[in-house]
Amino acid sequence: MSGDKGDGERVLRLVTSNEGKAMEYAAALAGISWKVERVAGPYEEIQADTLEEVAGASARQLFAEGSVPPPFVLEDAGLFIDALEGFPGVYSAYVFQTIGHQGILRLMEGIRDRDASFESRIALCVPGGDVELLSGSCSGTIPQAMRGSGGFGFDPVFIPEGDYRTFAEMSIEEKEERSHRGRAMAALRERLARL
Ligand code: ITT
């Protein structure tokens, strides 16, 4: 049976090129009855207008290629800034690689509305090839300057609602309790318990 190593332990593959993301999955999925195995090779991210389309289409493509046996998960996430009409959104990876968090702060110079949200869409490909989507989101604000050295990506420029610290100033557990990914991973844990 796919996902069963033969000794009763079930294996979920996590496909990501992002080390920080992989660490968050390892922390959140420790202690469940699944062994999480990272597949570090990049997959071809399908271009689309929404995170769910990107995640869903990428997972279906990966299943069709047959290189990663299901069950596996991949995730598309992004930062959506209200005053920038949702930018960088689905372009977050590209924007992070090009202008980085300094670029985001520059774009936000002089803008009073600092509201933003982080969104996560996990695509779970189950044995047989069906793809299911699990979501998580986190509202917050963009600070005036970057703060903190933890986490990854845009973490130094995002303060979750109800807190005063950026994600980069939190421990991995504190970020998980509040974050888009933490919420999507909680839904994933529930789903895996029924798989
Ligand atoms: P994979 O697709 O290989 O998993 P990626 O880095 O491209 O890795 P995403 O497309 O999901 O991951 O994320 C797009 C960008 O959004 C990513 O480069 C980060 O800069 C940013 N991002 C996503 N989740 C984040 C988080 O929890 N904290 C900070 N930045 C995040």
Q: 1 in a domain, yes or no? A: no
- Whether residue 3 lies inside any domain: the answer is no
CA distances from 26 to 6, 37, 86 (A): 22, 9, 29
Provide the CATH number for the domain around residue 50. Answer: 3.90.950.10
Using CA atoms, how far apart are residues 97 and 80, in angstroms rounded to an integer?
Answer: 16
Beta strands in 95-130 (DSSP E): 115-125
76 within ligand 1 shell (Cβ under 6 A) = yes
Residue to probe by mutation, ligand 1, list 73, 102, 120, 154, most atoms within 8 Å of CB: 154
Question: Which ligand 1 atom is nearest residue 97's CA?
Answer: 18
CB 14 within 8 A of CB 38: yes
For residue 49, being part of any structural domain is answered with: yes
Number of folded domains in the chain?
A: 1
Query: pLDDT per residue over 128-173, tens digit each?
Result: 999 999 999 999 999 999 999 999 999 999 999 999 999 999 999 9
Name the pTM for this structure: 0.94
Query: Does a structural domain hold residue 4?
Result: no
Residue of the CA atom closest to atom 10 of ligand 1: 76
pLDDT at 89: 98
Percent of the chain predicted with pLDDT > 90? 87
